[in-house]
Amino acid sequence: MDSILKVENLSKHFIIKTSTFSEKEIIHAVKNVTFELKNGESIGLIGESGSGKSTMANLLLKLLEPSSGKIHLFGQDITYISESEMRKHRRDIQIIFQYTNAVLDPKMTVSELLLEPLRIHKIVEKSEMDSEVDRLLTLVGLKTSEKNKFPNQLSGGQNQRVIIARAIATRAKIIVCDEPVSALDVSVQGQILNLLSKLKDELKLSYIFISHDLKVVAHMCDQIAVMYKGEFVEFGKTHDVLYHSEHDYTKKLLEAIL
Ligand SMILES: Nc1ncnc2c1ncn2[C@@H]1O[C@H](COP(=O)(O)OP(=O)(O)OP(=O)(O)O)[C@@H](O)[C@H]1O
Ligand SMILES: [Mg+2]
């Protein structure tokens, strides 16, 4: 199987001022992380709040510059490429954030929200745009009649489906999901997870799937990485991490769900 994303010794630190004097503190948000994602596989990232999961996600999308280390996307070193170069690669790697009102522009209709990535990345011809919007809506389980609505006329779950449709619109093969269901009502969470599972199979997607919930990650992913204070303290096949964990923090997580 081919490696589609390769991360080597990746680190990110933030320097923050701790007082009005010039005292500074260094936060090692991601520390020396190495992993490889193969075509069609998914990796789950778990860890307590502040362990570096979202920083990791933002580094992969180059929404943050790494302090050191390397990122290869489909064999190409993207670590230090410019923002304009990276724009081309954003077609291949997309991110789904936790749903909040801020994620979708409230002034755009569902149709406009889906046309945006299609236009930016020139995915289909102009004449095929409308039918592509309908295809995407159907793929994420929305009725095509919803396309003239605005985000505030849809439920949280429906808006999260729109966010997912925008991510798959570019035909991305890698989708980084940062807590994609944690802001949703429990009754809707399962439906969105089922949708993500279905899309993974249908579109042969690979996920980097971030969650606090080990059960969710175990269900969605072939491999699990446990982050603790910026490091991958455990990384392996889902079964091995669940049944042969070595790190105390993983054992604690497991105790909580068993
Ligand atoms: N822009 C920033 N400037 C300074 N510190 C930051 C910045 N972004 C993140 N951090 C710090 O880096 C560490 C990791 O944060 P991160 O958001 O990656 O954690 P997380 O695992 O996603 O947490 P959560 O589960 O709460 O979402 C935290 O200590 C956080 O305060
Ligand atoms: Mg986070």
Which residue would you say has higher pLDDT here, 99 or 27?
A: 27
Pairwise CA distance, residues 51 & 29, whole Å: 7
pLDDT value for 258: 63
- 167 and 200 in contact (C-beta within 8 Å)? no
101-145 tens-digit pLDDT? 788 999 999 999 999 999 999 999 999 999 999 999 999 999 999
Domain ranges of the chain: 93-169
pLDDT band at 27 (very low <50, low <70, confident <90, very high): very high
Count H helices and E strands in the chain, helices first. 9, 10
State if residue 75 touches ligand 1 by the CB under 6 angstroms criterion. Answer: no
pTM of the model: 0.94
State if residue 154 touches ligand 1 by the CB under 6 angstroms criterion. Answer: no
Which residue would you say has higher pLDDT here, 44 or 184?
A: 44
- What SS3 state is found at 214? helix
Q: Quick one: which of 174, 160, 171, 183 has its CA closest to 113?
A: 160
State if residue 50 touches ligand 1 by the CB under 6 angstroms criterion. Answer: yes
- 8 and 77 in contact (C-beta within 8 Å)? no
Mean pLDDT of 230-250: 91
Structure tokens at 140: 């994420």
Q: Quick one: which of 76, 67, 151, 79 has its CA closest to 109?
A: 151
Shortest-distance Cα residue to atom 8 of ligand 1 = 55
pLDDT value for 101: 79
79-90 tens-digit pLDDT? 999 989 998 899
Q: Is the pLDDT of residue 18 over 90?
A: no
- Give the DSSP H/E element, type plus range, for residue 168: helix 156-169
Q: Is the pLDDT of residue 24 over 90?
A: no
Pairwise CA distance, residues 139 & 165, whole Å: 8
State if residue 53 touches ligand 1 by the CB under 6 angstroms criterion. Answer: yes
154-190 tens-digit pLDDT? 999 999 999 999 999 999 999 999 999 988 888 899 9
pLDDT value for 130: 95
